[in-house]
Amino acid sequence: DGGITQSPKYLFRKEGQNVTLSCEQNLNHDAMYWYRQDPGQGLRLIYYSQIVNDFQKGDIAEGYSVSREKKESFPLTVTSAQKNPTAFYLCASSTRRESYEQYFGPGTRLTVT
């Protein structure tokens, strides 16, 4: 569990502001993912990256952006274009080799008012 971290745990922003959520892993995993979790909606995929300098949109990418400049880091920016940004955001990583198991971070709860 300690191998993937997200910061901060709670984040508050005013409407109209962009905000960046941090995700770092020291597991040497190739793939990283961002999910949004809302009550009753499960885990919805925002973006994922299989390798450095490459990433793909998930099912709900509108209003979000990502970068993957380093293997260890996969920050998510919630832009002002995201209509309902208040949610719990989970980052995950996986090896893509022996196992496809996803290791999740502790999450960031974002509140936009």
Partner 1 sequence: GENVEQHPSTLSVQEGDSAVIKCTYSDSASNYFPWYKQELGKRPQLIIDIRSNVGEKKDQRIAVTLNKTAKHFSLHITETQPEDSAVYFCAASKNDKIIFGKGTRLHILP
Q: Name the nearest CA neighbour of 46 among 107, 89, 96.
A: 89
> What residue type is assigned to position 5 of the chain?
T
In the list 15, 54, 98, 101, the residue contacting partner 1 (rule: CB under 8 A) is 101
| Residue 95 within binding range of partner 1, rule CB under 8 A | no
x-or-dash pattern for partner 1, window 22-61, by CB under 8 A? ---------x-x-x----xxxxxx--x-x-----x-xx--
> What residue type is assigned to position 105 of the chain?
G
Smallest distance from the beta carbon of 70 to partner 1, in angstroms?
A: 19
> What residue type is assigned to position 112 of the chain?
V
> What residue type is assigned to position 42 of the chain?
G
